[in-house]
Amino acid sequence: MTSLVELEQRRPRRADARRNYDALIEAARGAFAELGPQAPLEEIARRADVGIATLYRNFPTRETLVEGVYLEEVEAVCQAADQVTHLEPWPALIAWLDRLVDYLGTKRALIDALNRESSALQACRHSLVEAGGPLLERAQAAGIVRRDIAIDDVMRLVSGINGVKFADDSQRDKVLAVALDGLRRLD
């Protein structure tokens, strides 16, 4: 299985090449959000202010570009787990899950464009489990969350809720809060 470290090694080392890579990721993120994963690659190169050859040098296929954007987002969610460790166990878990929900909501189209069996996608899922697991375990150790729940269960719960169409974000947040309250220890 590909790891996030191996995926990180795909990024250019030279400063100018890294700037182009980052510009392409940012342009692709915006284009995919506006136009979907089939956004024209020429449009992405134009938004990044680079030539199409530079895009292809960094991302030989559309799938590698989609994967690159997805990877950047996964890394941000994983880093968010570190950023909430100063909070009490339950608020830390909820803050991270809120960040996961935001990520899931904006990346549904990207996930559909990826090969779900790819080692990169599997590595990203593994990294999310590794990031959220300690937060859940900390809440369990504090006696706040049921012990019969695993981080995989929580991520499936959140993903399932996130896959439903809601009238607006406040309705989604309300349903999610009710579901997350079900994680709490009952005694």
| pLDDT value, residue 89 | 96
In a domain, 186, yes or no: no
In a domain, 49, yes or no: yes
166 near 173, Cβ under 8 Å? no
Structural domain range at position 57: 4-181
103-152 pLDDT per residue, tens: 876 666 566 556 566 677 778 888 999 999 999 999 999 999 999 999 99
| pLDDT value, residue 133 | 97
In a domain, 121, yes or no: yes
- Per-residue pLDDT at 73 exceeds 90: no
Band (10; pLDDT cuts 50, 70, 90): low
154-181 pLDDT per residue, tens: 999 998 888 888 888 899 889 999 999 9
| Distance between CA atoms of residues 131 and 124, nearest Å | 10
| Distance between CA atoms of residues 144 and 141, nearest Å | 8
- Per-residue pLDDT at 52 exceeds 50: yes
In a domain, 41, yes or no: yes
| Distance between CA atoms of residues 187 and 28, nearest Å | 48
In a domain, 187, yes or no: no
- Nearest to 41, CA basis, from 21, 26, 56, 30: 56
The enclosing domain of 30 has a CATH number of 1.10.357.10
Structural domain tally of the chain? 1
- Per-residue pLDDT at 5 exceeds 60: no
In a domain, 104, yes or no: yes
